[in-house]
Chains A and B, each alone.
Chain A
Amino acid sequence: MGLVRRDTSPQVGKERSQAPAYDLLERHLNSPDPELRREAALELDGWDEAVPALLGRLDVESEPAVCDAILTTLVGHDIGPVAARLVGHLAGEDTGLRIAVADALAAMPESTLSLLPDLLVDPDHDVRIMTAMVLANMRHPEAESWLVAMVRGDAHPNVVTAAIDALLPSARAEHAPLLQEAMRRFPDDPFLRFVVETTVPRLAGTYR
């Protein structure tokens, strides 16, 4: 017993000699074995023709780790049609998938930003709350201005609160009037009031 050296397979650094064929990966994507599905989803990275299959699998997949692998591969396809299909999951029943999709959309800023005008007026306020979560995680210079627009204009207090929460890490003194106005618009919302009242004093002296 003690430290042992093990050079027998499986080894670190020994690549598989041949990449699996596309047809095999697509079959594995629908295998009963979740680990096989997860691996196939990752290995389909770089195959443009796999996008419809990945999106289709995501519609029915129940294993979170497989969903995450599918989303990781899809994030590499930062194009409008992919983002548009993913946005559909923001209104889904599966909370874990909604959050995973929001994270994925945040990593696809080019296509996601083009969908924002529609997302910000989505009739489902839960979708608008998820949109605030997308913007919270997005590393893009335009994300902040979209959050400001949500705080200023959304009619639902929970959406405004979510947008304020997303804005807080980058909020500065110049945002104080925006937050105070939000509080005035929703005087009966105690949580929003609490957030604004605890935040505004901390913003003093923080300018861009």
Chain B
Amino acid sequence: MTIPMVAGAGLSDLDFEKFREYFYKRTGIQFTAAKRYFVDRRIDACIQSSGHRNFGGWFAALRLGDRTDLLQDLINQLTVNETYFLREDYQFDSLLSEVLPRVLAGRGRPGRPAGPVKILSLPCSTGEEPYSIALRLLEEWDQIDHVDVEIHGADIDSAVLDRARLAVYGNRSLQRVPKPWLAKYFTRIDEDRYQLDGGIRDAVTLAQVNVCDTPAMRAVQDFDVIFCRNVLIYFDELSSRRAAENLYGALRAGGFLFLGHSESMSRISPIFTPVRLPEGLVYQRPTGAK
């Protein structure tokens, strides 16, 4: 999961306000004054790594947009990525037992869907979520030999995507992975680290996207299931609404959206239909909608 990080020290109040407004417009992520200390520290790090000598020069270059690496470095610094395999696993239970059967039923006879089932993990951070989905499907979904499944992961942070592609994880990240799965799908590369099997890494498509960016999200389409967990709570109301609209547009009619357990779409947007499943709520794009 990639979420805004609390932040900093060193900018004038005016500089902080200018920065805050700029970053919000570019990403939808809002920092309150309470996060000031942490923001300042990370901006200082960005200024130093950029080669600029002060905030003014760095910020001018950032806004000019000639060096896209400046913005990306900033995003990477100001987001925090902490997750682990099989996190909030009950939602994967729900995916297998309730949601995927409905997806197949909605597209014709089970086992003969019109095309691959498409699943998106957004934000996918360092890859634990999309790879967890892959492992659960391979190990526990009885239709996996009869249905093609595409799994996509997306995140605003390019650095975490690089780590997701490498797919090397420590014990903390893997603590919930059953030992037989660890032996079957991972290669131990040193005392504390394991790398995920290349076949699974290759099967998951990773890309950079900002869920609040409507033009970019227009290219994210036709998904049957989206996991967007524990990120909307970090947005203000307008950004949340916009993200909800973009997620709606990324789903097929009848597609399902999983949010984090503490998030509620009804406060964000009335366009989804809440569906109560044994394991909890999931949100569905209405089947009547195009």
Contact = CB atoms under 8 A, between A and B. Distances in A.
A107 to B, nearest CB: 4
Interface in B25-43: none
B216 A13 contact: yes
A5 B269 CA distance: 32
B277 interface: no
Interface in A1-41: 1-7, 10-16, 19, 33-35, 38-39
Contacts of A45: 214, 242
Categorize the interface residue count of chain A. Answer: 35 or more
Interface in A45-91: 45, 64-65, 68-69, 71-72, 75-76
A4 B237 contact: no
Nearest to B222: A10
A100 interface: yes
A165 interface: no
A72 B144 contact: no
Contacts of A65: 248, 271, 286, 289
A12 B144 contact: no
Contact of B245 (A3, A7, A72): A72
B142 to A, nearest CB: 12
Main SS class of interface, B? mixed
Contacts of A103: 270
Contacts of B286: 65
Nearest to A64: B271
Contacts of B134: 3
Given A5-B203, A34-B290, A72-B241, A15 B138 contact: no
B74 to A, nearest CB: 19
A72 B270 contact: no
Contacts of B229: none
Interface in B138-190: 138, 144-152, 154
Interface string A139-182: 10000000000000000000000000000000000000000000
B9 interface: no
Interface string B213-240: 0111011111000000000000001100
A16 B219 contact: yes
B237 A139 contact: yes
A111 interface: no
B208 A13 contact: yes
A4 B203 contact: yes
Contacts of A6: 116, 118, 150, 205
B196 interface: no
B87 to A, nearest CB: 20
B154 A13 contact: yes
Contacts of B220: 10, 12-13
Interface of B: 116, 118, 120, 134, 137-138, 144-152, 154, 200, 202-205, 207-209, 214-216, 218-222, 237-238, 241-242, 244-246, 248-249, 267, 269-271, 286, 289-290
Interface of A: 1-7, 10-16, 19, 33-35, 38-39, 42-43, 45, 64-65, 68-69, 71-72, 75-76, 96, 99-100, 103, 106-107, 137, 139
9 contacts: A2-B138, A11-B205, A16-B215, A33-B290, A34-B289, A75-B238, A76-B238, A100-B270, A107-B237
